[in-house]
Structure 1
Amino acid sequence: MTRWPSVTGSPDEASFSEKLRAHLAETPYFQRHPQQLFTVDSHGEPMTQNVVALVRGSGRRTVVLAGHFDTVSIANYGTLAPLACDPEPLTEALLKELRSRPLNGAEAKALKDFESGDFIAGRGLLDMKSGLAAGIAALERFAELTAPEGNILFVATPDEENRSRGMHSLRNALPEIARRFSLDIVGGINLDASSCERDGEEGRAIYLGSIGKFAPFALVIGRPTHAGYPFNGTSAHRISAEIIRAMDTVPELSDEAFGERSPPPVCLEARDIRDGYDVTTPDRVWLSFNWLTHRRSAADILGDFRTLVNGALNAALETQDAHQARYRATSKAKTQGTVLTYAELLERLKTRGGDALDRLSALDRSLSGGTDPLKVSREIVAAAATEAGIEGPAVIIGFGSLHYPLVHLERAGETGRTMHDRLQAVMQDAARRHGTSIKFKQIFAGISDMSFFGHRPDAGETGLLAANTPSAAFTDDAPEGLLSFPTVNIGPWGRDYHQKWERVHAPYTFEVLPDLVFESAVACLAD
């Protein structure tokens, strides 16, 4: 599978599903049961598809094994890009390169790993075709049992590295698949990869949850002025700098839950919105942040962000007013500013009447094929602010990209506790058999398809997000009747995924992991 390129958004991604379906069709089980191997359309042109493979035993109880097959770009391999998807030649080429020059710390670790013989390089080998391979191995082992209890449904999805359109489409199709084959889905195992910079102890793990992600934005609107007369306007840059200072890497803004702490928010994008050069201060500055959470809801994030932005706006205006008073030797003025959510901005447009909302919808449709959510959101918000005639100083806030909900086994109640107890026994037995350690970890730190796998979103939260996300393409339009079931993540580990030195730890991934996934699935199927 690694030798089948599948970079997100490429024709190779679209063709991967048929290659995988054809590969699975060659197995004896699916030669006997071809109707239980099929694809589900996802998105794009040419159409990308999910691969679905069902192995039946007795009864209705079913566990779903899920992984994505798209990868990030191979561009960072440079001259070695032609070898990026060919693990053995690539590993040898990387060894040769690393031995030929002085190394930094990360490169020295990569060289040591490759020389040990325990690590193999390859784009997507770690993230995440080794996880898929473990799921397929578990599926085939289940098919070979004489009288298996329950059923295993294996799914391979595209687009995880972009906006999880593959998992969304699969999730939406799952109720009909369950009805068609008379399945009761009792649990899910996501197969995504994790990283460990030490001896692997942190990588050999069952993750009980996946982190939540919000992408709040702030469009800062100042009052432009000639640079020779700075106090005749309001600096959008000063306001944006205060917002960044209040937000970026501030530890108090991280979440603590399940005994672990999320990273604090970081600024992903800061730019003024103008194309040419002149000596006028910028009218508008766009900011976007990444805010990972362990417990905060959309309402919490939007409320907290509004408070922070309002405080930063006031601090910036007070500072500029004080500078003006000192410079002109006059009494201090009091400049007022406004903070609006994107939903409130649209309400202003509705009040004004006219066809402004129709023009924004048309703009959204024209931009919906774009893969950069921040660029799409930036253009729509800027257009909406212009339509509404917003004068600075003001800040428009909202969500600039797809929200990934926090999921955790604890939130599944009694069924989650039962799954936890069964997996604990499996984990201990597998560690003993293989002479290693395997542990529970609370939160998978990288955003993942697990956020949409077995998770039925809260309607109120979905509504708030949709109202404050400029582009419909980056909202979760969840249909009625979605299935809900407890999920965990059990996958390979390695180092430097998405990087040139991406490598998987072979002994764990190819020996321990398939056994762990199989035994975990069987344990969850027991009545």
Structure 2
Amino acid sequence: MEQRRKLEFGPRVRELACRLVGWGSETGTPGEAEFGAKLAGLLREMPYFRTHPDQVRLVDSHGDPMTQSVIALVRGQGARALALAGHYDVVSIDNYRELAPLAFKPDELLAALIADLESRPLNTTEQRALEDLRSGEFLPGRGLLDMKSGIAAGIAVLEAFAAQPDRLGNLILIATPDEERGSRGMRSLRDALPTFANEFGLDIQAGINLDATSDQGDGEEGRAIYRGTIGKALPFALVIGHSSHASYPFEGVSAQLIASEITRAVEANPELCDTAGGEISPPPICLEAKDLRGGYEVTTPERVWLGFNWLSHHWAATDLLGLFEQVVRTAAAEAIETFNRRARTYGTMLGTKQTAAAPDVAVISAAELRDRVQYVGGTEAITRLNEVGRKWRNADDPLAQTRAVVSAMVTEAGLIGPAVVYGLSSLVYPSTHFSRLSGHPEFAAAIEAARLTQEERGHPAIKYREFFTGISDMSFFGHRPLDTDRALIAGNTPARELIDDVRTDALSFPVVNIGPWGREFHQRLERVHAPYAFEDLPRFLRQIVSRFLG
């Protein structure tokens, strides 16, 4: 009996995972655009979908050629539904270097990587990888860990559910593109889901995201149920000073000093960490700091740009923006005080009075600046501003995109320093948590019962963790932000393409993340722990489905 359970899913999930990996789908490539139709074709090979082909749907997402999400529904009795979701795009294979032709061929890549690692001296990380690959418990391949093994597990569970007579409830499998750049696949799917649910009379009450996690140990941390996911915002500060000749520094106001003080106040500051559920988010860090001059001059720069990555567990982006504004205001005031004090000291050294003290720094939100553009330049200025936005619409760099728009706003508004404009320079990924939604006790009970069953049958323990630490589609799957947050975020995101335009009827339901684990995803030695991904994970998911829907 135990042997039968061990072989319940493994060979089938491995076969599916390798087949999915074989369809290369790097983000932004034709392979990504072709993947949706291929997956739909695979699903229609299942006996259930041969007789219900209309229950496999393709949903347009974005791009040219168009990328598509896949929705597959297996129906049972009643309206209650559970959704399983994963992304199928993968990062570039460039870091495989000479082995790039094998990146989508797991078994061939396994042999090639072992041969490569055995042929030369290794660092500690490579030695660990060699031991893993020799063990037979890990399988490499681009996207096998992140996250086609998760989708394969979902397909196998969907097949098992479809084979069950007298099914109760409904099971949905969702596969989306573009998680790696802007979650455009999940966001467009989210907008299509209410219509799909209404068409089939479904009440989607819960979801499971199937994304992968990393574990450098024995899997204890990787075998996990994540109750929530971390949030991400990229607040920016464009500092505007007064230029001065290098020989007369106090005739201007140093944008560099103001920017430096802001960076010092924010960079890796533990006081700016968010805490929730007993876990602490990483502190914010500066991703970009640069002056905006086009070349060499013997003058101080007028404008300096800062972009920060800020992760959160509980705070909304509106909370972060308010806190960022306070920090910027305090830091700018301290910078001016320092600058004026140094001017006085320098004047004393020379025995002459320096120029007038630098004035206070105006701290202005992006929303306020746009209003100023409208006031100063009217509709013609807004038209010019929108044209700048259109030029940068397809940019892959949100910081550069935002920087271009904000710089144009400052020019159109005629804003003179010292001043700091602040706002948001990327798509906001909201933090989510199971506990923030009411009406989920049955889902929680089903997960816990399935978890205990796994342990009672001698399978590896699965633990609860509060927040999935990677940026993921979980921020948009089953999550509908507050209208007040949406308005403030939209007003302070200068690049309009980076605003998440959520439908008012978007569905809201509790979501957890339960996926495969492995090591070094996105890297050359990306590898999945095969026994868990191919057997334990789908078995656990099947238990949850049975208990929640049954």
TM-score between both structures, scaled by the size of structure 2: 0.93
Letter in 1 for 2:470: G
Choose from 488, 498, 503 the match for 1:464: 488
SS at match of 2:61: strand
Residues in 2 aligned to 1:263 and 1:336: alpha-carbon distance in whole angstroms:
32
Specify the alignment match of 1:426 in structure 2: 450
CA contact (8 A) 1:225 1:280 kept: yes
Q: Which residue of 2 aligns with 1:487?
A: 511
Q: 2:296 aligns with which of 277, 298, 312?
A: 277
Aligned-partner Cα distance in 2 for 1:183–1:451: 22
Q: Among 203, 206, 225, which residue is 1:206 paired with?
A: 225
Identity in percent? 53
Question: Partner letter of residue 179 of structure 1?
Answer: N
Q: Which residue of 2 aligns with 1:136?
A: 155
Q: Pick which of 339-348 and 90-99 moved more.
A: 90-99
Whole-Å Cα distance in 2 between the matches of residues 109 and 252 of structure 1? 36
Deviations 1:7-62 (A, max 9, x none): 11111100011111111111111111111112011111111001111111111111
Contact 2:208 2:514 in 1 (8 A): yes
Q: Which of 80, 105, 127 is the matching residue for 1:61?
A: 80
| Whole-angstrom CA distance in 2 between matches of 1:521 and 1:185 | 13
Shift of 1:3: 1.1
Counterpart position of 1:376: 401
Aligned to 1:292: 311
1:360 and 2:379 are equivalent in the alignment: no
Report 1:235-384 matches (<5 A): 235-329=254-348, 333-354=357-378, 355-384=380-409
1:4-19 correspondence runs (5 A): 4-19=23-38
Distance 1:396 1:338 in 2: 8
Tell me the CA shift for residue 403 of structure 1. 0.6
> Is the counterpart of residue 388 in structure 1 residue 413 in structure 2?
yes
TM-fit CA distance, 1:179: 1.1
Distance in 1 between residues matched to 2:136 and 2:250, nearest whole Å: 65
Matched, 1:412 2:437: yes
CA distance in 2, matches of 1:91, 1:285: 48
**Per the alignment, do residues 317 and 103 of structure 1 end up closer, same or farther by CA in structure 2, a change over 3 Å counting?**
farther
* AA matched with 2:271: E
Match of 2:123 among 100, 104, 109: 104
1:434 deviates by: 4.7
Taking structure 1 as the reference length, the TM-score comes to 0.97
Aligned residue number for residue 173 of structure 1: 192
Residue 331 (structure 1) shift: 6.4
Check the 8 A contact 2:27/2:92 in 1, yes or no: yes
Q: Which runs of 5+ in 2 are unaligned?
A: 1-19
Q: Equivalent of 2:246, from 190, 215, 227?
A: 227
Q: Which of these residues, 444, 469, 475, is aligned with residue 445 of structure 1?
A: 469
C-alpha contact (below 8 Å) 2:253/2:358 kept by paired residues: no
**Given residue 490 of structure 1, which amino acid in structure 2 is its aligned partner?**
I
Q: Cα distance, 1:365 vs. partner?
A: 2.1
8 Å Cα contact 2:214-2:520 kept in structure 1 = yes
Q: Encode CA deviations 1:394-443: one digit per residue, 9 max, x unaligned.
A: 11100000111111110112x22332222111111123335211011111
SS in 1 for 2:180: coil
State the AA in 2 paired with 1:406. Answer: S
Equivalent residue of 2:508, what SS?
Answer: coil
- Per-residue deviation at 1:493? 0.5
Contact 2:361 2:418 in 1 (8 A): yes
Distance in 1 between residues matched to 2:358 and 2:388, nearest whole Å: 37
Q: Deviations over 1:325-353 (max 9, x none)?
A: 22221568353211111011112112224
Are 2:377 and 2:413, in contact at CA under 8 Å, matched by a contact in 1?
Answer: no
- Give the equivalent residue in structure 2 for 1:78: 97
Indicate if the aligned counterparts of 1:321 and 1:335 stay in contact, CA closer than 8 A. Answer: no
DSSP-derived class of the 1:43 partner: coil
Is contact 1:187–1:524 with CA below 8 Å preserved after alignment? no
Quote the Cα distance in structure 2 between the aligned partners of 1:431 and 1:306: 49
Contact persistence 1:6–1:71 (CA under 8 A):
yes
Shift of residue 508, structure 1, vs aligned partner: 0.6
- Give the drift of 1:101: 2.8
What is the DSSP-based 3-state SS (H/G/I as helix, E as strand, rest coil) of the residue aligned with 1:484? coil
Q: 1:182: how far off? A: 1.2
One-letter amino acid of the counterpart of residue 84, structure 1: A
Partner letter of residue 488 of structure 2? L
Letter of the 2:390 counterpart: R
Contact 1:410–1:417, Cα closer than 8 Å, also in 2: no
Q: Return the alpha-carbon distance in structure 1 between the equivalents of residues 115 and 290 of structure 2.
A: 41
Q: Secondary structure at the match of 1:280?
A: coil
Q: Within 2, Cα distance between the matches of 1:96 and 1:236?
A: 54
Q: Counterpart of 1:199 in structure 2: which amino acid?
A: D
Q: CA deviation at 1:177?
A: 0.4
Q: C-alpha deviations, 1:155-211, integer Å up to 9, x for none? A: 100011111111111111111101111111111111000111111101001111111
Structure 2 letter corresponding to 1:378 = R
Q: Is the 8 A contact 2:317 2:430 kept in 1?
A: no
Deviation at 1:80, TM superposition (A): 1.8
- 510-519 vs 427-436, greater mean Cα deviation: 427-436
Q: Which residue of 1 aligns with 2:135?
A: 116
Amino acid at match of 1:41: D
Q: Distance in 1 between matches of 2:381 and 2:524?
A: 47
Q: Distance in 2 between matches of 1:135 and 1:10?
A: 25
Secondary structure of 1:219 counterpart: strand
CA distance in 2, matches of 1:216, 1:369: 20
Spell out, residue by residue over 1:468-490, the C-alpha distance to the aligned partner (whole angstroms, 9 max, x if none): 00112111111121111111111
Deviating above 6 A after TM superposition, structure 1's stretches of 4 or more consecutive aligned residues are: none
Instruction: Please point out which of 426, 434, 437 is paired with 1:401.
Output: 426
- Give the aligned residue type for 1:369: N
* RMSD over equivalenced CA pairs, Å: 1.4
Q: For residues 79 and 285 of structure 1, what CA distance do their matches in structure 2 show?
A: 41
Cα drift, residue 117 of structure 1: 1.8
When the two structures are aligned, how many residues end up with a matched partner?
525
Note the alpha carbon deviations across 1:266-323, whole angstroms, 9 max, x for none: 1111122223222222221111111111111233211110111112112222222222
Secondary structure of the corresponding residue to residue 443 of structure 1: strand
5+ long unaligned stretches in structure 1: none
